């Protein structure tokens, strides 16, 4: 198989682009580096396209290796024909190779295998050819293992049934029937029939295989795993009756044996095998889509705009153990911590107000962050009362506590705050999540962040790899301050890993901040290749070279300086936000002829030149700053205040296959079902909504008992 040609065809990408991308990957370049700094080689392919090429290449490479293994195994059995070899080599899917290999695969001995060993195969061929047979003919095959005419008929039928079940064309035919007419059928098991479970909707449930949504597949799988549901894939006999008739010969004895055999092959081999395959196919599809959704949600969450220059009072609420309070400067450094008891059971409201007022004034804090778990709404009421009573020009925001406990007990947290307990570390994490969400959230296993759907039910290896790629993509897209980033953030930079990231931080702590990117080469473990991959994503603020606050790679510094010189400026001028520089650079971008001339003059690619210009236009740019800012509050709204028809502003904080959950500034999230997102049919909520998006919604139904809020998207 021409693997690169096949990838080119499937992904609708020029083969030359595929060839170049594979070559770059094989040379040890990372996807972010290739995507950003090798655009001329790839023809400006984006990260997703490059990862798709990498994924397809790995799949087809493994497929070709497996084909050779299958051919070798069949050949060793002395059963490899030229036509079979050709079919295997031409196969483009693993399932096709598996179907062709099935009759020759080593397995536990079946009734059909025993019948073949006892010499019944010639009789099975005769029966299937429609040649005349009778009782006298069958008696010729009687032996110690097949002692009667009925035994012989059964043995011949078993051979026919197994041959039928293992035939690739038959498997394809029934596979298509399953996907067209098959139904997933589920029931609660007897011992749960009278009990209330979260799977009650799946009792006496049935849906077409082709119509069942992914989230339902995963829910059913979980119910089965918890031993509450029994699950079957059902194909009505009526759908394949005509196929069975094709094998009948119109002769009584032949047809009796054939019918018996096909029934055996269907019930014992083909249908159970395909049922497992259909379940697996549905599961893989559902898991892939769930992982992709989780990945997209995570990406959007990590891109949450940081609230810069905020000095924060972060609060981790609690009842009996009190509310942990920490003060953080604008860089996330811990200034002070204490514990207050403003809610039940102590209700020390006035005392708590005096304590936080003193902390806020002393450290000049300008934002309050409240964790959204236990006692959060009671703490919110306390804060709103404090703001009004003390006449403070302050606002507050909720921080999602998902994963905070994971961080607070981690080695990194212990190293950052060795003399503080887990509750203080957790409160610090909440505050930092608002100041710089990306820098803080990368310290936590993505599965603990709370934006997934059935994340614990999917293939964990695939999930981990996909989420790792997502974090890597976001970190390198945003860029990292080489002098302030934690090793947890640095380890996601292209070309670095956990060990090198730790050594970089240790070197920085020992020798002081880096003055230039090239100083990073002094860190043990960073060689020329690692530096090449990482340098453009590591930014140096306040260093020797102003270009190093941009994403311009050191290999292109000379080009950037020549470009600036051409329009009458020096690299130091980019820090002055000079309008003349901007207008000159913008005129370049808007004039293809000038771009082409400059590209030739500087002997550099057009894609690279355009990237350099864009970086010079926005030195130190943070792409997150261009996204909607979080909502800040200074008052309070309760569930009891809500009414149907009310219009509110909220923030999307999770997206699933069936809808989006909206933070309305109260304890309970609202749900916009996908049927209430637009007037037309919505295939998936992500077509219209994204994590952190600020939306206006209308309340269409309130369920006071279950405290559920149904919403409709307005804009």
Convert the pLDDT of each residue in 527-539 to its tens digit: 999 999 999 999 9
Tokens 């009778």 belong to which residue? Answer: 134
CA 454, CA 283: separation in Å to the nearest integer?
12
CA 60, CA 683: separation in Å to the nearest integer?
31
Number of H helices, E strands in the chain: 30, 15
Asked if 409 and 417 touch (Cβ cutoff 8 Å), the reply is: no
Indicate the SS3 state at residue 286.
helix
Q: Between helices 168-181 and 94-101, what is the axis angle to 10°?
A: 130
Buried b (16+ CB within 10 A) or exposed e, 137-148: ebeebeeeebee
Does domain 639-713 sit in CATH 3.90.480.20? no
Report CA 332 to chain centroid distance, whole Å.
29
Mean pLDDT of the chain: 93
Going from N- to C-terminal start, the domains of the chain cover 3-104, 312-504, 526-626, 639-713
Asked if 495 and 530 touch (Cβ cutoff 8 Å), the reply is: yes
Local confidence band at 460 (pLDDT 50, 70, 90 cut-offs):
confident
Which has the closest alpha carbon to 542: 483, 615, 618, 625?
483
Which residues sit opposite 706 in a β-bridge?
none
What is the share, in percent, of the chain residues with pLDDT greater than 70? 100
CA 571, CA 552: separation in Å to the nearest integer?
12
CA 100, CA 103: separation in Å to the nearest integer?
7
* Beta-strand relationship, 367-371 and 396-399: parallel
Residue 64 burial (CB count, 10 A): 12
Kindly state the average pLDDT of the residues 475-499.
96
Residue 522 burial (CB count, 10 A): 11
DSSP per-residue string spanning 321-347: T-EEEEEE-TT--EEEEEEE--STTT-
Local confidence band at 41 (pLDDT 50, 70, 90 cut-offs):
very high
Residue 650 burial (CB count, 10 A): 23
Local confidence band at 576 (pLDDT 50, 70, 90 cut-offs):
confident
What tens digit of pLDDT does each residue of 236-268 get? 999 999 999 999 999 999 999 999 999 999 999
Lowest-confidence region among 232-246, 578-592, 675-689, 693-707: 578-592
Local confidence band at 448 (pLDDT 50, 70, 90 cut-offs):
confident
Tokens of 606: 């057009």
Buried b (16+ CB within 10 A) or exposed e, 435-457: bbbbbbbbbbebbebebbbbbeb
Q: Check pLDDT > 80 for residue 681.
A: yes
Which has the closest alpha carbon to 145: 194, 94, 96, 111?
111
Kindly state the average pLDDT of the residues 538-567.
96
Local confidence band at 458 (pLDDT 50, 70, 90 cut-offs):
confident
Q: Report which DSSP code applies to 503.
A: H
CA 571, CA 555: separation in Å to the nearest integer?
15
Q: Check pLDDT > 80 for residue 212.
A: yes
Distances (CA, A) of 592 to 386, 436, 596, 601, 665: 59, 38, 6, 14, 49
What integer pLDDT is reported at residue 267 of this predicted model? 95
Within 315-444, residue ranges assigned H as helices are 349-363, 376-389, 404-408, 411-416, 422-435, 437-441
What integer pLDDT is reported at residue 50 of this predicted model? 98
What integer pLDDT is reported at residue 533 of this predicted model? 98
Tokens 């179907």 belong to which residue? Answer: 99
Tokens 């097949």 belong to which residue? Answer: 146
Asked if 428 and 398 touch (Cβ cutoff 8 Å), the reply is: no
Residue 311 burial (CB count, 10 A): 18
What tens digit of pLDDT does each residue of 169-210 get? 999 999 999 999 999 999 999 999 989 999 999 999 999 999
Tokens of 61: 């490479």
CATH architecture assignment, domain 526-626? Orthogonal Bundle (1.10)
CA 18, CA 50: separation in Å to the nearest integer?
9
Local confidence band at 512 (pLDDT 50, 70, 90 cut-offs):
very high
What integer pLDDT is reported at residue 700 of this predicted model? 94
Local confidence band at 211 (pLDDT 50, 70, 90 cut-offs):
very high
Local confidence band at 582 (pLDDT 50, 70, 90 cut-offs):
confident
Tokens of 138: 């069958």
What tens digit of pLDDT does each residue of 516-529 get? 999 999 999 999 99
Angle at 431 between CA 429 and CA 437, to 5 degrees: 75
Q: Check pLDDT > 80 for residue 145.
A: yes
Angle at 378 between CA 372 and CA 384, to 5 degrees: 95
What is the share, in percent, of the chain residues with pLDDT greater than 90? 82
Distances (CA, A) of 16 to 2, 48, 233, 264: 13, 17, 44, 52
Does domain 3-104 sit in CATH 3.50.50.60? no
Local confidence band at 106 (pLDDT 50, 70, 90 cut-offs):
confident
What integer pLDDT is reported at residue 220 of this predicted model? 96
Question: Phi and psi at residue 452, in whole multiples of 5°?
Answer: -100, 180
Q: Check pLDDT > 80 for residue 2.
A: yes
Q: Check pLDDT > 90 for residue 628.
A: no
Which has the closest alpha carbon to 341: 315, 362, 323, 367?
323
What tens digit of pLDDT does each residue of 355-376 get? 999 999 999 999 999 998 889 8
Contacts with 334 (C-beta within 8 Å, 6 or more apart), sequence order: 326, 327, 328, 417, 420, 424, 428
CA 405, CA 403: separation in Å to the nearest integer?
5
CATH architecture assignment, domain 312-504? 2-Layer Sandwich (3.30)
Local confidence band at 564 (pLDDT 50, 70, 90 cut-offs):
very high
CA 667, CA 639: separation in Å to the nearest integer?
8
What integer pLDDT is reported at residue 210 of this predicted model? 96
Kindly state the average pLDDT of the residues 706-715.
90
* pTM over the 0.75 mark: yes
What integer pLDDT is reported at residue 633 of this predicted model? 83
């Amino acid at each position: 198989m021409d693997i690169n040609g096949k990838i080119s065809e499937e992904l609708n990408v020029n083969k030359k682009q595929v060839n170049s991308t594979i070559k770059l990957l094989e040379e040890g370049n990372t996807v972010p580096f290739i995507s950003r700094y090798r655009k001329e080689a790839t023809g400006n392919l984006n990260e997703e396209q490059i990862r798709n090429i990498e994924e397809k290449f790995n799949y087809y490479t493994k497929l070709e290796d497996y084909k050779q293994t299958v051919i070798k195994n069949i050949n060793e059995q002395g059963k490899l024909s030229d036509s079979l070899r050709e079919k295997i080599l031409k196969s483009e899917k693993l399932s096709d190779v598996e179907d062709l290999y099935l009759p020759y695969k080593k397995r536990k001995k079946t009734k059909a295998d025993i019948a073949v060993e006892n010499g019944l195969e010639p009789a099975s061929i005769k029966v299937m050819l429609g040649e005349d047979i009778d009782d006298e003919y069958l008696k010729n095959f009687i032996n110690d293992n097949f002692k009667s005419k009925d035994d012989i008929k059964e043995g011949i039928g078993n051979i026919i049934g197994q041959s039928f079940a293992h035939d690739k064309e038959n498997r394809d035919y029934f596979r298509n029937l399953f996907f067209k007419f098959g139904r997933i059928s589920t029931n609660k098991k007897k011992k749960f029939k009278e009990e209330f479970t979260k799977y009650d909707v799946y009792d006496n449930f049935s849906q077409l295989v082709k119509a069942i949504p992914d989230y339902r597949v995963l829910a059913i799988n979980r119910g089965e795993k918890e031993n509450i549901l029994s699950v079957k894939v059902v194909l009505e006999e009526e759908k394949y009756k005509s196929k069975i008739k094709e094998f009948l010969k119109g002769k009584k004895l032949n047809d009796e044996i054939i019918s018996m055999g096909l029934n055996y092959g269907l019930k014992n081999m083909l249908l159970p095998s395909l049922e497992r395959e259909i379940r697996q196919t549905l599961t893989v599809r559902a898991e892939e889509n769930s992982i992709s959704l989780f990945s997209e949600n995570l990406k959007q969450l990590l891109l949450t705009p940081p609230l810069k220059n905020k000095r924060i009072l972060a609060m981790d609420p609690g009842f009996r153990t009190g509310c942990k309070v920490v003060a953080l400067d604008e860089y996330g450094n811990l200034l002070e911590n204490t514990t207050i008891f403003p809610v039940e059971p102590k209700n020390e409201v006035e005392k708590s107000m005096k304590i936080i007022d003193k902390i806020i004034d002393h450290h000049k804090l300008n934002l309050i962050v409240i964790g959204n778990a236990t006692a959060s709404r009671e703490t919110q009421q306390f804060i709103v009362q404090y703001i009004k009573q003390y006449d403070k020009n302050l606002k507050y925001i909720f921080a999602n506590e998902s994963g905070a406990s994971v961080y607070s007990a981690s080695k990194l947290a212990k190293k950052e705050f060795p003399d503080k307990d887990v509750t203080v570390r957790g409160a610090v994490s909440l505050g930092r999540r608002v100041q710089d969400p990306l820098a803080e959230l990368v310290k936590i296993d993505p599965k603990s962040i709370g934006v997934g759907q059935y994340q614990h039910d999917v293939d964990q290896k695939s999930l981990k790899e996909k989420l790792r790629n997502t974090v890597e993509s976001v970190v390198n897209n945003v860029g990292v301050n080489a002098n302030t980033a934690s090793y947890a953030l640095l380890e996601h930079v292209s070309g670095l890993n956990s060990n090198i990231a730790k050594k970089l931080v240790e070197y920085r702590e020992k020798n002081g901040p880096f003055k230039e990117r090239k100083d990073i080469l002094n860190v043990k473990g960073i060689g020329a290749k690692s530096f090449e991959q990482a340098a453009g994503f590591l930014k140096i603020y306040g260093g020797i070279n102003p270009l190093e606050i941009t994403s311009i790679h050191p290999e292109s510094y000379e080009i950037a300086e020549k470009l600036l010189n051409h329009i009458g400026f020096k690299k130091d001028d980019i820090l002055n936000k000079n309008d003349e520089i901007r207008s000159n650079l913008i005129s370049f971008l808007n004039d293809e002829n000038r771009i082409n001339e400059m590209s030739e003059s500087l002997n550099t690619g057009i894609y690279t030149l355009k990237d350099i210009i864009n970086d010079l236009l926005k030195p130190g740019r943070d792409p997150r700053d261009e996204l909607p800012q979080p909502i800040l509050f200074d008052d309070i709204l309760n569930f009891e205040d809500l009414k149907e028809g009310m219009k509110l502003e909220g923030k999307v904080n999770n997206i699933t296959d069936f809808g989006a959950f909206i933070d309305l500034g109260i304890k309970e999230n609202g749900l916009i079902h996908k049927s209430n997102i637009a007037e037309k049919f919505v295939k998936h909520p992500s077509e219209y909504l994204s994590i952190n998006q600020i939306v206006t919604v209308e309340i269409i139904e309130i369920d006071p008992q279950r405290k559920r809020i149904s919403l409709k998207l307005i804009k």
